[in-house]
Chain A
Amino acid sequence: NAGVTQTPKFRVLKTGQSMTLLCAQDMNHEYMYWYRQDPGMGLRLIHYSVGEGTTAKGEVPDGYNVSRLKKQNFLLGLESAAPSQTSVYFCASSYVVGGAGNQPQHFGDGTRLSIL
């Protein structure tokens, strides 16, 4: 059982380059999330999705775009990478049972992204 799989695990980009981070879950979860983790700041929500074909902005959405074309996949895109986007990115997914928020999130192992 793979759970939540993030691809790639590491990446170094130059300022202005673009890239897409892939998140795949095999648990048939409705909700999926993208976070960034920076030292001393915990996890901050970038975007999330409550189902296939839907996305919504989180706390820090600027500079990022997302898509959820298939239920099991959630893509995070950086159109023009900036050094401020150097971070560790985590994808998570969760069930919805009788309403949102009462089920824990399952996390991937993260993507470590450096922007030079």
Chain B
Amino acid sequence: AQSVTQLGSHVSVSEGALVLLRCNYSSSVPPYLFWYVQYPNQGLQLLLKYTSAATLVKGINGFEAEFKKSETSFHLTKPSAHMSDAAEYFCAVSDSGNQFYFGTGTSLTVIP
């Protein structure tokens, strides 16, 4: 079975600082990996996805993530945090099956 670990349930950064949200996965086969963002009282929205093309994936709102097979990681980064980035972020993994497995989420706070 697949699993996802998100290190740090809460992350705080200053506005303009680097955002780094960590995600490690376990998968017995090459995975498909996703990052989603959830704003209060809303559903999840796709930020970016990795599906075995380029290992550095660019998403919306200036976010990007790098797939590192040797580290089984898919960390999410953004060079400069904006107040509007405050939200809950979820990493998810899927293999070629029918199910997706989500991490427990990381709440990002941006300090003005």
Contacts and interface: CB of A to CB of B under 8 A. Distances in A.
A92 to B, nearest CB: 8
Given A40-B104, A41-B104, A42-B102, A100 B96 contact: yes
A50 interface: yes
Contacts of A44: 102
What is the size category of the interface that chain B forms with chain A? 20 to 34
A48 B51 CA distance: 22
Given A40-B104, A108-B43, A31 B49 contact: no
A43 B92 CA distance: 10
Contacts, number: 62
B97 A4 contact: no
Contact of B94 (A50, A90, A101, A106): A101
What is the size category of the interface that chain A forms with chain B? 20 to 34
Contacts of A102: 32, 51, 94, 96
B46 interface: yes
B97 to A, nearest CB: 6
B90 interface: yes
A45 B46 contact: no
A109 interface: yes
Given A43-B90, A102-B94, A48 B99 contact: yes
A31 B99 CA distance: 10
B104 A105 contact: no
A58 interface: yes
A34 interface: no
Contact of B98 (A35, A42, A43, A100): A100
B95 interface: yes
Interface of A: 4, 31, 33, 35, 40-45, 48, 50, 56, 58, 90, 92, 99-102, 104-110
Q: Which 7 A-B residue pairings sit nearest by Cβ, starting from the closest?
A: A107-B43, A101-B94, A42-B104, A43-B102, A104-B46, A42-B102, A107-B44
